[in-house]
A and B are shown apart, each in its own frame.
Chain A
Amino acid sequence: MSYQSMEEAQLRCKKDGIPFWKAVQIEDVNERGVTLENSWKQMTGMWQSMLENLDAYEENLVSQSGMVGKDGGQMDAYRENEKPLCGDFMAKVMANALKMGCNNACMKRIVAAPTAGACGVLPAVLVTYYREYQVPEETMIEALYVAAGLGQIIANRAYLAGASGGCQAEIGSGSGMAAGAICHVRGGNSEVIANACAMALKNLMGLVCDPVAGLVEVPCVKRNVGGAVNALAAADMALAGITSKIPIDQVIDAMKDVGDKMDVTLRETGIGGVAGTPAGQAVAEKLGM
């Protein structure tokens, strides 16, 4: 049985004297009846797929609707030629989030994390950091366990699908997972991980799912940037010792409550939010949707 709360997982960590990622891996092994090696190998596959998928980005490819595709290349060019407001590292994070979002829209290979629409957040944070700071690969794979473990708690208490809980459940969860994961990479313990995830989730609470023409393109691709930048900000706060005044489990419960109250037009129906604007409607009409 996977962890129903962060509290439960943290108790396990304390009792057995193990880090959060290990507690997640042990539960995976119990749940699926596989070996530790087998589980690790599968997670390594996810990591390697993220690296390959990011490198497979083609800056001249556009989605079938024509709305997205070139954004990653544009951000790269801007970073190389100008001085980004957010600094060089953050500009790389943003470019990578855009690249993965565009890859997804252009029918290239991605790792759903936790969903296809939010596939850019985790690699934008983790792969960019890995390449910038030459961290051992094992640490990154441990970080993926952290991300998956947090995602599983969110799934157990709330949801991960935009159709169920709005974009807070997709990009919001992806951002919370990435925030916790990068804290692990920087040596944060399970308390720091929990605080980072809680703060990332709170910052994106209430985010609606409003895809123009029902496609995973607008505003989804750019929201991956929002999720990645937010994850790093939340992680930095947590690493600075700033705590979430609301415990993570209660934040997740609040997110579910907000999602339940969210009108159906704001839950992946392509009706409300930016999908419902005159410009959004015009796109839908042009595409015959």
Chain B
Amino acid sequence: MGNIFDILGPVMIGPSSSHTAGAARIGLIARQLFGRQPEKATVYLHGSFAATGKGHGTDKALIAGLLGMLPDDMRIPVSFDVAKEEGMEFTIENKDIKGAHPNTAQIVMEAEGVPTMKMQAHSIGGGRIKVCKLDGIDVNFSGETCTLIIRNIDEPGRIMDVSAALSKAEINIATMQVFRDKRGGCAVMVVETDQVIPKEAIEDLESKPGIIRVKFLDPNGVE
């Protein structure tokens, strides 16, 4: 169970912590992982998100998150208009995703010059979420603490490179998970840290061989 501000809070736009605040968080974390505002987003809603999403503003909240809005942003109800103003194209469809949590959204993000990204996440209640798939690879993180997401080639030495770089920057690793699609294929490292990782350390990681993409999620920063 969370702290007292999970009981009294969050401050959010209604009507539902799981279907509205959680949906906004999913959109926001997708944007953070993508690293920028997508030019085009395709959103798929599954289960209860598909069945009661419209009445709960789940669709508006997801788009709001993709536009960088926090769950208490007053513009959530008009996020479709904001998307139009900012030139972000989007479509929202219902989709049955086998075995997925009832409150699941899948988001495909596209922008010129960057690889397309596909993320799947679900809302677990109280405005909290879990990211469960990244470009087809199973992952499991919430983004509630400082989280480093590294995409790398599945080969020897990559985990050591990352831990060495973090050690050099005096960053303590709280938890570390590694996932891959197949042996020697694409891997994802999810590293939760006790400190905010400085920009230089991230650039250092990006320059290492076998590392494809590095993304740092700061729970207290929007971008």
- A-side interface residues toward B, CB under 8 Å? 2, 24, 28, 31-32, 42-43, 45-46, 49, 63-65, 103-117, 119, 122, 144-145, 147-149, 151-152, 155-156, 160-161, 163, 213-217, 270, 287, 289
Contact = CB atoms under 8 A, between A and B. Distances in A.
Contact of B125 (A119, A163, A214): A163
Contact of B4 (A24, A49, A163): A24
Contacts, number: 123
A196 B12 CA distance: 28
Given A289-B52, A289-B55, A160 B13 contact: no
Interface string B39-64: 00000000010011011110010000
Contact of A107 (B7, B15, B48): B15
Contacts of B4: 2, 24, 28, 145, 148-149, 151-152
Nearest to B14: A104
Nearest to A33: B194
A116 B14 contact: yes
Contacts of A149: 4
Interface residues of B, number: 32
B127 A112 contact: yes
Interface in B1-49: 1, 3-5, 7-17, 20-21, 48
Given A46-B8, A106-B15, A215-B55, 9 more contacts: A42-B5, A104-B14, A109-B72, A110-B13, A111-B8, A115-B126, A148-B7, A160-B126, A215-B52
Given A107-B15, A116-B16, A215 B56 contact: yes
Given A144-B8, A270-B52, A107 B3 contact: no
Contacts of A216: 14-16, 56
